Chains A and B, each alone.
Chain A
Amino acid sequence: MAAPLAELAQQQTAKLVLLGEMGSGKSSLVLRYVKGQFFDYQASTVGAAFLTKTLPELNVKFEIWDTAGQERYHSLAPMYYRGAAAAIIVYDITSPDSFTRAKSWVRELQRQGNPNMIMALAGNKADLEGQRAVTVEEAQAYAAENGLFYVETSAKTSANVNELFEEIARKLPKPEAAPRPPQGGIVLSENQQQQPKKSTCC
């Protein structure tokens, strides 16, 4: 029978959340990674804050969550972190404030998030070397102290963008090791409607 084998090779779906100050380039990173696009003036995230990308060679499907309008007044819903296998905390290498904010997100995740979550620290806008305000050494030291995977990226030139996501995919715990809920869930869909059966019970 083919079914059990197919089940073993089942693709792992991993929720990945992005955190970071407004304007640090969270959406640009995702758009560069998922669609290969970059816009100099990316409007605030509207309409597409839930993207997916499949990495067939690593058997991983990322469900990527962007914060949409909830981080501006510090009003992220617990649902946002819930069940996240990985988080990318983004800061802008030209902005020390965004680095401070990134550290507070790391603390928030350490307190609220799943303890096995893979956390990556991304120093974005690495193409703006001339305006650098956060040094590689400082970020590296902070990342090492807190067990974060650290990389500098540029959504504009696409430097290290694929590498960032692929490294996270490689670090994910294998599906067999992931804890299973006591019972399976139900997927709601329109086309699942069964023929109403004749029944005498109700």
Chain B
Amino acid sequence: MNEEYDVIVLGTGLKECIISGLLSVDKKKVLHVDRNNYYGGESASLNLIQLFERFRAGAAPPPSLGPSRDYNVDMVPKFMLANGKLVRVLLHTDVVKYLEFKAVDGSYVLQKGKIHKVPANDSEALRSPLMGLFEKRRARNFFLYVQDYDESDPKTHKGLDLNRMTMAELYKHYDLTEDTQDFIGHALALHRDDAYLTQSAMPTVLRIKLYHESLFRYEGLNSPYLYPRYGLGELPQAFARLSAVYGGTYMLNQPAVEVLYENGVAVGIKNGADVARAKLVVGDPSYFPDKVRVVGKVVRAIAIMNHPIPNTDNAHSVQIILPQKQTGRKSDMYVFCCSYAHNVAAKDKWLAFVSTTMETANPEAELSAGMALLGPVEEKYIEVRDICEPLDDGTKDQAFISKGYDATTHFETTVDDVLDMYRRITGRDLDLTAKEPVTVEA
């Protein structure tokens, strides 16, 4: 490793691996190092032995859970929006060929103490108890407006200026009740709190369009979400492979690695007696403790169960959104579930995750509304994670640091951060429309 590189990347989380892959395809010489002996960093999927090392140090997994290698437990549970930016990056880089996806069976939302499926087609919408009959008619006009809305075609604006009016005003224009607003804002636009109501309506309208386009992106979807077989940890591995295929060098299991600074500028890494130099260093916040600040805390519970979540039609994969108002909180809570059908748990086992932004000093109690939906659990692990952000943008000290993974249910902000880092590093935007296929058909 005592060589000179264009870029050294620290940590093999999803963001770092996408950057590493993109820069390798750009013909940069990349060295990618991780302190752990596994891929994925903060966004890894762990097997049972790794899970127990993290949460039950010294204890062995009980045999009732099945083989360790059958498990791929996501440390940052999220789903991919089928028409979202991550899918576009996967297609652009042709990394899709390393992965296999499954549709998520359903998205549910908590309303008045009960969970209901978020309708995925007209007949489900008609039957759904989420709205009364007259409200459905009003909501229909709102949805037709949103679906037809095209920023570049003023005819579709129907005299409304979405950049100037607030979302609360747009709701009022369509005369929607507070329950409907709650449903649209949290279960479709996927806002985590109500701050969006007083902001311009445009971003929320675009988010509702993204949800709708995702739902109809591939045939037969019952939710707007996709999930990779073998867990989300496959995503960083797939991008790491892209990087390696384009000449990137990988070194895992380097616990002593640290950033080397000269005159306050990152010039490479130290690893014991070894030094590797580079024009710039990229990495996740854990490798730059003096250059990041904590901006929030997320509390997560991981549960292993031998049944699906009750009242979800025996779904193998599902998301449940608990809007803040329904639980008397300031931010939403999310439940994710997937099963052995996705090769993330042993036969006949389900994994469930409950997560939210931490608001009190008693994080476990904060999760109670979500945990109550799961039914009996075999095993439960709880942790609180800091979410860190870089203090600077890296242009002065050549240390380009990713943000921690936020509490959102999907990867939109993850990819936004990657695209922003890519621009800061290369000075140009990534053109997601250009495609460079890597496959060679003989």
Chain A residues in contact with chain B, CB under 8 A?
A: 34-35, 44-54, 67-70, 72-75, 77-80, 82, 112, 181-183, 185-186, 188-190, 192-202
Contact = CB atoms under 8 A, between A and B. Distances in A.
B160 interface: no
A49 B244 contact: yes
A49 B147 CA distance: 42
Interface in B109-129: 118-122, 124-125, 128
Nearest to B118: A202
Contact of A201 (B102, B120, B219, B249): B120
A112 B49 CA distance: 14
B438 A202 contact: no
Interface of B: 1, 39, 69, 87, 90-91, 96-98, 100-103, 118-122, 124-125, 128, 136, 139-140, 143-144, 147, 188, 208, 211-213, 215-219, 226, 229-230, 234, 237-238, 240-241, 243-253, 316, 340-341, 343, 435, 438-442
B246 A46 contact: yes
A47 B251 contact: no
B121 A201 contact: yes
Given A68-B245, A72-B249, 13 more contacts: A46-B246, A48-B438, A50-B245, A52-B440, A70-B241, A79-B98, A183-B316, A185-B102, A189-B91, A194-B219, A199-B125, A199-B147, A199-B215
A196 B82 CA distance: 13
Nearest to B101: A186
Contacts of A53: 442
Nearest to A48: B440
The interface centre, meaning the residue of B87, B98, B140, B243 with most chain A CB atoms within 10 A of its CB, is B98
Nearest to B242: A68
A34 B442 contact: yes
A196 B216 contact: yes
A185 B121 contact: no
Contacts of B252: 73-75
A185 B343 CA distance: 12
A200 B229 contact: no
B350 to A, nearest CB: 13
Contact of B245 (A34, A47, A190): A47
